[in-house]
Amino acid sequence: MQLGFRRGLLGLALVALSTMAHVGSPDTFFVGNAGAYPVRIVVRLPGVIPGRAQVTVRITDDGAARDVQRVTMRAAQWNLGIDGAPPPEVAKAVPGDSALYAAELWFMTATSYQLFVSVDGPGGQGTAIVPVLALATSLRSMDRPLGLVLAALGVFLAVGMLTIVGAAVRESVLEPGIVPDRKRRRRGRAAVAATAIVVGLMLWGGSRWWTAEAESYRNFVLFRPFEAGAALRDDASRRVLTLEIHDPRWTGRPIATVRYNALMPDHGKLMHMFLVREPGLDAFAHLHPVARTAAGLAFDAEVPPLPQGRYRVYGDIVHESGYAQTLVATVDMPGAGAQAWERTDPDDSWFAGDAAPEAAVSRFAAADGPAIVWQRGTASIAEYEERTLTFAAQDAGGAPLALEPYMGMLAHVVIAREDGSVFAHLHPAGSISMAALQKFAGPSTHTGHMMPAQGDLSIPYAFPKAGHYRIWVQMKHAGRVITGAFDANVRPRT
């Protein structure tokens, strides 16, 4: 009966949530190796937890794909490990594509997982460990017809209950055909009244229970990044940006056993911060603020001489649980200031200017020679569709440039939608947090992704919604960071 209330309550609770580790882009893309097998793994979340995620595993080498006999996977919660995981799920070969395997995997808890993907072949078994954040990003509402049907059934049951109790008290002990006297009729009415009170209490209790469940899902299951605020302070000719976390879940004394435990560094830095000017997306900075105290409640970074305007501030952090999140804030940058920029961190960089227009091949040439090329291909980009973003660094003449790792990666790719509702930070290893990967799979996994020092870098991604985006690509050559900017337009899915 309480089901009748359900629809209305959930209707109220239905909010469009757009923030998560990355922002608005919860799916996991991974490129790596399962032993001898090069794999690309995509985990698409169901939105609600518990829920079933779609996992696909592509063997990216044709020869290796022919040898594969079996692909299995297990998802283990970060704090339980493989021993606490359900038995392995066998992925099915996708008909028509001999290199692609797919499975559905249950995620029961909204937390950080290690996904073990094992590939069996004549050469033995190889396993890739993929950090996956099982995030609940949506509230499901009940559709109206179902709600109405359930409400009608509830009314029918309640009225039925009253009728049965009334009739039972009034005449159940009478012989058939005998009309109940006044006393019996009065007792019957009293019983109906008493039952109505009980039924009313049941409905009220049910509604309370339902509200409490919905509330607890919203508070503890549904993903919400830490609340944070950004502020600027001009100090002589320097400008300092402070990102402060003020969230009851982050007190400065993290508990080791919960997913919001201590922060761990990603490439030696506790926070990777990105500033994006909106709505033009025409200025960008990649900074590494320093925590003011060990508690990690506030982070300071010196701001480069960015043009004035309103900036969205994204702060990527990773907890020791492997749980990665992006803090989001906005800040109004006044003109002038930051004349003397002293990098807080030697890897800090920034860029202001227009992007190369989207094309089958877009070339972004930096002022003094080097260029970054995006091989989009002739097909336009569709919402939700998995595709490979392929970039290369070239000199002015078009010859490939030798790349050096920039913070351990051959490329950092940052994607932002013009309204700030989507933000993603990708690497050649995919969308996963590198710190979480190293934590789960060991430090050696990391170097594997730095192998090709020249040539094209391909990164799998699916734009989560249609709209206008900018892509910044950062690579390092001869000790210098090159930043390229590209326009991208994503069409609605057909």
Which residues here bind Cu ion, judged by CB under 5 A?
272
Nearer to Cu ion by Cβ, of 272 and 277: the residue is 272
Point out the residue whose Cβ comes nearest to Cu ion.
272
Q: How far is the CB of 286 from Cu ion (least distance, A)?
A: 5
Cβ(87)–Cβ(74) below 8 Å? yes
Long-range contacts of 343-346 (CB under 8 A, 24+ apart): 343/302, 344/287, 344/288, 344/289, 344/290, 344/300, 344/301, 344/302, 345/269, 345/287, 345/288, 345/290, 345/301
Q: How far is the CB of 459 from Cu ion (least distance, A)?
A: 16
Q: How far is the CB of 412 from Cu ion (least distance, A)?
A: 7
Nearer to Cu ion by Cβ, of 22 and 272: the residue is 272
Rounded distance between C-alpha atoms, residue 14 and residue 189, angstroms = 42
Nearer to Cu ion by Cβ, of 285 and 490: the residue is 285
Q: How far is the CB of 91 from Cu ion (least distance, A)?
A: 34
Q: What are phi and psi of 231, to 5 degrees?
A: -145, 150
Rounded distance between C-alpha atoms, residue 235 and residue 57, angstroms = 52
Rounded distance between C-alpha atoms, residue 199 and residue 165, angstroms = 12
Cβ(286)–Cβ(274) below 8 Å? yes
Nearer to Cu ion by Cβ, of 344 and 362: the residue is 344
Residue recorded with tokens 């109940």: 180
Nearer to Cu ion by Cβ, of 39 and 434: the residue is 434
Nearer to Cu ion by Cβ, of 272 and 376: the residue is 272
Q: How far is the CB of 288 from Cu ion (least distance, A)?
A: 6
Q: How far is the CB of 374 from Cu ion (least distance, A)?
A: 20
Rounded distance between C-alpha atoms, residue 391 and residue 373, angstroms = 5
347 contacts: CB under 8 Å, gap ≥ 6: 267, 269, 286, 288, 406, 407, 481
Nearer to Cu ion by Cβ, of 272 and 476: the residue is 272
Q: Which tokens hold the place of 68?
A: 């594969």
Q: How far is the CB of 92 from Cu ion (least distance, A)?
A: 38
